[in-house]
Amino acid sequence: MSNITLGAFSVSFAVKDIHASKAFYEKLGFSKHGGDIEQNWLILKNGQTVIGLFQGMFQGNLLTFNPGWNQDGQNIDAFDDVRAIQKHLKEQGITLTGETDENTTGPAHITLTDPDGNQILIDQHR
């Protein structure tokens, strides 16, 4: 696998007050695309830009990729499975901070950190 396709991209923000964050990003032109504010998570969209707001779910912000999805969160036919992505990254010498069982299928995720400490989540939902 010379090139991997990571899928839909978004930035996931760990927020302190999801209502305040929602109101702020709505002023920037974002609108609700998914999620449940009562469960402390929302997906907002402005054009093709997608952000997630998550209160109390993880530490720090994440760069998020979703194999199998387009920017609208719709399934795409052909995609690189997260297990194939994991294998490729490991072959490239990248250390993962969280791995998935390569003998499984379906939803799974892996995590890694770039050289500057930015956390990356590759989260496959199907």
pLDDT in tens, 66-119: 999 999 999 999 999 999 999 999 999 999 999 999 999 999 999 999 999 999
Query: Three-state DSSP class for 91?
Result: helix
Task: State the pLDDT at residue 102.
Answer: 93
Residue 66 lies in a domain: yes
Let me know if residue 1 belongs to a domain: no
Give the pLDDT confidence score for residue 2 in this predicted structure.
Answer: 66
Q: Is the pLDDT confidence value at 16 over 70?
A: yes
For residue 82, is it within any domain? yes
In a domain, 108, yes or no: yes
Question: CB neighbours of 124 closer than 8 A, spacing ≥ 6?
Answer: 7, 66, 67, 68, 81, 82, 106, 107, 108, 109
Provide the pLDDT for residue 51.
97
Asked if residue 3 belongs to a domain, the reply is no
Q: Judge contact between 110 and 51, C-beta under 8 A.
A: no
Residue 109 lies in a domain: yes
- Percent of the chain topping pLDDT 70: 98
On the question of pLDDT at 1 being above 60, the answer is no
Residue 37 forms part of a structural domain: yes
CA 68 from centre of chain = 12
Residue 53 confidence (pLDDT) above 60: yes
Q: What is the mean pLDDT of the chain?
A: 95
- Tally of domains within the chain: 1
CATH code, domain carrying 19: 3.10.180.10
Domain containing 99: what range?
Answer: 8-124
- Domain presence at residue 2: no
Confidence of residue 3 (pLDDT cuts 50, 70, 90): confident
Q: Are residues 88 and 96 in contact, defined by beta-carbon separation less than 8 angstroms?
A: no
